[in-house]
Chains A and B, each alone.
Chain A
Amino acid sequence: MPEKEKKKLDLKIREMPKQHEDIRRQNFDEVALGYPANIAIEEAIRCLQCKKPKCVANCPVEIDIPGFIKCIAEKDFALGTKILKQKNLLPAVCGRVCPQEEQCEKGCILHKKGGAVAIGRLERFLADWEATQGEPPVPSIPPATGKTVAIVGGGPAGLTVAGDLINLGHDVTIFEALHEMGGVLIYGIPEFRLPKAIVKREVNYLKKLGVKIVTNYVVGKTKKLDNLLKEFDVVFVGSGAGLPWFMEIPGENLNGVYSANEYLTRMNLMKGFQFPEYDTPIKNHKRVAVIGGGNVAMDCARTAIRLGADEVQIIYRRSRDELPARLEEVENAEEEGVVFHFLTLPVRYIGDENGWIKEIECLKMELGEPDASGRRRPVPIEGSEYIIPMDAAICAIGNNPNPLIPDTTPGLEMGKWGNIKADEETGKTSKDRVWAGGDVVSGAATVILAMGAGRIAARSMHEYLTSS
């Protein structure tokens, strides 16, 4: 088919417009601006509509990717949105923050030729298109089953479980510890990467479907999980991230040394960048070091730039090739002026007489033999210590699962990292009628993996509810 041959030749991934770095350094607005419709259609036409699509196989929530892309190519955005939302309740979120290059796009047949279809951008395009079409239609929901579901945590895992189970006719209540819904989507991911209005829109949609939402409610503290089980048929625990990791080096409790969670929560959930209009303060540090090389580290560094820092440095103990952050985020950070120090390890924070950090002592590293993760292990170079002046350091090296449910629920089997043990196939925990998923099970991971875990648990919970 000549038409098909022509398609195969088009390996040019359509660029998505974004704010210029000189401008975006000074605002908190979204950086990537999304495809206009004509570009989205051009990009969608590049899809070869594989019979056995590897992109779908690589998607944690099994979206019918060729299906929705075909609709874009045919300009039927409404049908495309419908197909997309059958499997993904949060397309506007996933289109922005999913690591598509590691998942669906990696599976794309055009990937090997260097031109994978920009599935994430197309997903985002549809979700954003839908938002401009007024209130989304509420699908008809099957008759009430009379079964009650409690969900602990209003983040990506919990939202997915809620959406799946309300659509099956169950009575769903989400308990959220913070004063706003969304979990990491609200407190963690910055506005310039994921506008909070999008998260609110998705949460409102769930409310319209009939999901009950209780904020300011800390299961484990306000009510023990065991007592919640007396009121609900099943419980899903998606309580997310917990205590941040520090490197356990001297000076980490100096003022000006933050965990990424604190820095980002001050900024995003509490709107610190709008202090004093909002009450929660944040310091406008001038020289900021961010320790770590993941997406969270990039978020912190780019936030510090926007708060007016003169110099923001990412300190990472391995080399550029091992950076766990998405390439897109690394590039964005570099464009905005973040400086990377690879093969560098902080060994000590040095404080001034008032207990504020003033310097970081670092050690240069070199790559040695591969470690258990298969990556070459960084080894310190003896005598390479040097000192960098700095007035803030943000430690973005990960966190434990949240401890509140494990600490207050006897009989819940735990893993060695303080995570809740849950079956990979079902999300079922060791405790009767309790499922779990997301960071509280896996440790710090991605939004889409949490959503995938939610999807798996929801399926198993539904089976249980309909068979019992």
Chain B
Amino acid sequence: MFKVIQSEMIVPNMHLLTVEAPDVVQEIMPGQFVILIAEEDGERIPLSISDWDSENGTVSVVFMNVGVTTNKLAALQAGQTIPAVVGPLGLETEIDKFGTVICLGGCYGIGSLYPIARALKKEGNRVITVLEARSSYLFYWEDKLKEVSDQLLFISRDGTKGLRGHVGKLPDIINKTGGAVDRVIINGCTYLSKRGSEITKPLGIKTIVSLAPIMIDGTGMCGVCRVSVGETTRFACVHGPDFDGHEIDWNELLQRRKMYSSEEVIPMRQSKCEDHAHHISD
């Protein structure tokens, strides 16, 4: 059993969960994920790792409460235990000295972007972190991200913080960097990753997205997490979760993510991410 050290709602419907999992943090790298089971008889769900503490052997995830399992995870309190925390799984995000990197995060991705930005900064990159949300009250970890970024920018749909609009404002930000952007890294919901990739493609900026398809074992056995990347089928659990955003068949991925929504998600899906995507394509 794995002990919950901290569990809190950091902004509305967004939860931070820290669990004791000393084995998991031994060889952990930015961009990897864990699989958790919330309670006995529960399902296995993948969640991106947002932070860890090697000394105390804890790992943290940020997730949105959207379905049966995240609902159970959200209800946990410090001191309780969960039956499984497995990982770190997947490949780490490629970290190198790229030059100027835009780290774009939304939803739970603001959390998982943090260790990536930290590693990029350490490697000597100019890190421009861009956070995107519906409103100012949905941003979190600004202080942590500020520390590891050269610039921290916000886009809010209602204009209550930073630029007003959506990910569609990304070209404005890129223009203002005053030089070439060498790479864009996107962590967040599928719509943010899709739109972000569509925006950077004509600009010719290499764009890496972190995908969160449905998974079961997460160790390269069941094959449910397959994604069409370029001409080939890739398995997000062992070949990802990071892929080149310009190569992904986004419509297929969106459809695959909805496979069990009637069983799991529809009653709780209130993020309105779809509306946001429609606005942009209008």
Contacts and interface: CB of A to CB of B under 8 A. Distances in A.
Contacts of A243: 220-221, 223, 235, 238
Contacts of B275: none
Nearest to B234: A243
B69 interface: yes
Nearest to B255: A355
B216 interface: yes
Interface residues of A, number: 48
Nearest to B251: A355
Nearest to B224: A262
Interface in B1-50: 23-24, 26-27, 37-38, 41-44
Given A243-B223, A355-B256, A278 B41 contact: yes
A253 interface: yes
Interface in B53-88: 68-69, 83-88
Contacts of A430: none
Nearest to B238: A403
A216 B84 contact: yes
A402 B217 CA distance: 12
Contacts of B226: 253
Interface residues of B, number: 43
B219 A281 contact: no
B43 A221 contact: no
A307 to B, nearest CB: 14
B71 to A, nearest CB: 10
Interface stretch (B147-155, B190-198, B257-265): B257-265
Given A177-B86, A243-B238, A279-B69, A265 B263 contact: no
A224 B43 contact: no
B43 A218 contact: no
B238 A404 contact: yes
Given A179-B37, A216-B85, A277-B41, A253 B222 contact: no
B252 interface: yes
B222 A259 contact: yes
A281 B44 contact: no
A355 B252 contact: yes
A227 B27 contact: yes
A217 interface: yes
Interface of A: 177-179, 187, 215-218, 221-224, 227, 240-244, 246, 248, 252-255, 258-259, 261-262, 265-266, 269-271, 275-281, 283, 354-355, 399, 402-404, 407
